[in-house]
């Protein structure tokens, strides 16, 4: 029950997304607090840690490397390339999507140094670069496998068609895409394509960026650098409508005997044995709560009820704004 497979790797169903220890949701925790959280995760039995070159423009890989390198044999290490911070003429780093083979190779070399390791277990193309054939990007990743610098290839936020094209070049071990009760896009095609091809599916933001925990009630005080400020579902009017959906969901969690966050994670895990989750947190208490969700067993009826309470039929607002959506390759439901 408490294990899933990602290619040749056996992992606990609930891994740790490390992004918000350095990036995305406002001021990150102190170095000491971030280190304490990573080590507590390791002590709990978390054996799947996910980072990326983008997160903190390298700072997150440096953090993970500094803290976890002494324990390298105890976990699956995942990172990402193809979306990094590039300094402009003003010296300010900005996010750039670049899937060219030379960039992928250079990013990997930098990541190995920051992560203090000789090999990355699972290396994702963070976003598809529409100016580069996916076959070329995956070909570069395949070269890294042959060179012994990475063990397995992953893709993030891609369509089933892109997955199939990539898989024809080199076996793809995992797809990482946003998936939760309020983001169902993988159900269009990617979940089934992964099952068919033997590809693991890793769900990021399975708690809907804190919405499904039930603890985020006010969205007016987001930090200036919080990425949710640009997400339509978190505008005051949309979020008020979405909050109203949580009453029945919270009642169902009480009936199951778990927290709303645990119900949300258990629902994602119930979608298939090839599915894992990587919630992120800066709180040790929430880390422990999330980890325990793997033991929550839902009946088919409870899975169906949760899915009916919150889903694309009643969530207010699209996942991304129009500008960000142009960068995403995953299938979209009709407007």
Phi, psi of 84, rounded to the nearest 5 degrees: -135, 180
200-204 vs 275-277, strand pairing mode: parallel
Q: Could you give the C-alpha distances from 330 to 122, 128, 163, 183, in angstroms and in order?
A: 20, 10, 10, 12
pTM for the model: 0.97
Instruction: Classify domain 4-207+266-296 by CATH number.
Output: 3.20.20.100
Q: Please give the C-alpha separations between residue 244 and each of 51, 127, 248, 256, 316, in angstroms, as whole numbers.
A: 33, 33, 9, 20, 11
Query: Cα 117–120–124 angle (5° rounding)?
Result: 145
Angle, helix 160-169 to helix 134-146, in steps of 10 degrees: 40
CA–CA dist 165, 138 (Å, integer): 9
From first to last of its 335 residues, the chain has per-residue pLDDT tens of: 479 999 999 999 999 999 999 989 989 999 999 999 999 999 999 999 999 999 999 999 999 999 999 999 999 999 999 999 999 989 899 999 999 999 999 999 999 999 999 999 999 999 999 999 999 999 999 999 999 999 999 999 999 999 999 999 999 999 999 999 999 999 999 999 999 999 999 999 999 999 999 999 999 999 999 999 999 999 999 999 999 999 999 999 999 999 999 999 999 999 999 999 999 999 999 999 999 999 999 999 999 999 999 999 999 999 999 999 999 999 999 87
Q: Which one from 25, 55, 123, 211 is the annotated catalytic residue?
A: 55
Q: Is 121 helix (H, G, I), strand (E, B) or coil?
A: strand
Q: In the annotation, is 239 catalytic?
A: no
Q: How far apart are CA 267 and CA 13, in angstroms?
A: 12
| Helix extents (H) in the chain | 31-44, 59-68, 101-115, 134-146, 160-169, 190-197, 236-243, 246-256, 260-269, 284-292, 300-309, 322-325
* DSSP-derived 3-state class of residue 295: helix
Quote the CA–CA distance of 250 and 258 in Å, as a whole number: 9
């Amino acid at each position: 029950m408490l294990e899933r497979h990602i290619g040749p790797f056996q992992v606990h169903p609930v891994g740790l997304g490390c992004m918000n220890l350095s990036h995305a949701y406002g001021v990150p925790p102190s170095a000491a607090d971030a280190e304490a959280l990573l080590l507590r995760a390791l002590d709990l039995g978390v054996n799947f840690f996910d980072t990326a070159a983008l997160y903190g423009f390298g700072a997150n890989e440096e953090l993970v490397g500094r803290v976890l390198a002494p324990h390298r044999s105890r976990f699956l290490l995942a990172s990402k390339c193809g979306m990094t911070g590039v300094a402009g003429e003003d010296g300010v780093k900005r996010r750039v999507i670049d899937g060219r083979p030379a960039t992928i190779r250079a990013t990997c070399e930098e990541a190995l140094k920051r992560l203090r390791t000789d090999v990355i277990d699972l290396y994702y193309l963070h976003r598809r670069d529409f100016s580069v054939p996916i076959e070329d990007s995956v070909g570069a990743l395949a070269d890294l496998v042959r060179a012994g610098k990475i063990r397995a290839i992953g893709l993030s936020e891609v369509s089933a068609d892109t997955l199939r094209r990539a898989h024809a070049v080199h076996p793809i071990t995992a797809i990482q895409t946003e998936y939760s009760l309020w983001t169902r896009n993988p159900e269009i095609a990617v979940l089934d394509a992964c099952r068919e091809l033997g590809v693991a599916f890793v769900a990021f933001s399975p708690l809907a960026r804190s919405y499904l925990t039930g603890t985020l009630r006010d969205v007016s005080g987001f930090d200036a650098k919080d990425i949710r400020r640009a997400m339509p579902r978190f505008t005051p009017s949309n979020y008020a409508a979405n909050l109203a959906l949580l009453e029945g969901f919270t009642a169902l969690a009480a009936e199951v005997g778990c927290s709303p966050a645990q119900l949300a994670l258990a629902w994602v895990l119930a979608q298939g044995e090839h599915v894992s989750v990587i919630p992120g947190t800066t709180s040790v208490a929430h880390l422990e709560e999330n980890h325990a969700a793997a033991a929550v067993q839902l009946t088919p009826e409870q899975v169906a009820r949760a899915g009916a309470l919150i889903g694309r039929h009643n969530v207010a607002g699209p996942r991304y704004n129009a500008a960000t959506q142009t960068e995403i390759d995953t299938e979209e439901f009709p407007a």
